[in-house]
């Protein structure tokens, strides 16, 4: 299911909706929807990829710190 972030241009209020809720929301606010709101698709894959990248960078930095402390002892 796709998720969307709807932002009111005037108040900057954010609303997170799935596809069916977005259709209902657009039907209710039909007259002024495109003048008052912006739509942005939320990609859940990118969030997952960001978490994996953060974990990899964290482990590599810890490994480099440990390597540096081992080399200092030599």
- Rounded Cα distance, 26 and 20, in Å: 10
- Give start and end residues of each alpha helix (H) in the chain: 19-28, 33-36, 44-73
pLDDT at 1 over 70: no
User: Six-digit token pair at 11?
Assistant: 């108040």
pTM: 0.51
Instruction: Dump pLDDT digits (tens) for 10-64.
Output: 899 998 998 899 888 888 877 777 788 888 888 777 777 888 989 999 999 999 9
């Amino acid at each position: 299911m796709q998720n969307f972030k709807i932002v009111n241009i005037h108040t900057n209020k954010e609303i997170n909706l799935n596809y069916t809720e977005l259709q209902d929301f657009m039907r209710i606010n039909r007259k002024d929807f495109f003048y008052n709101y912006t739509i942005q698709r939320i990609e859940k894959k990118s969030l997952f990829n960001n978490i994996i990248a953060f974990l990899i960078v964290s482990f590599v930095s810890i490994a480099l710190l440990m390597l540096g402390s081992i080399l200092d002892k030599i």
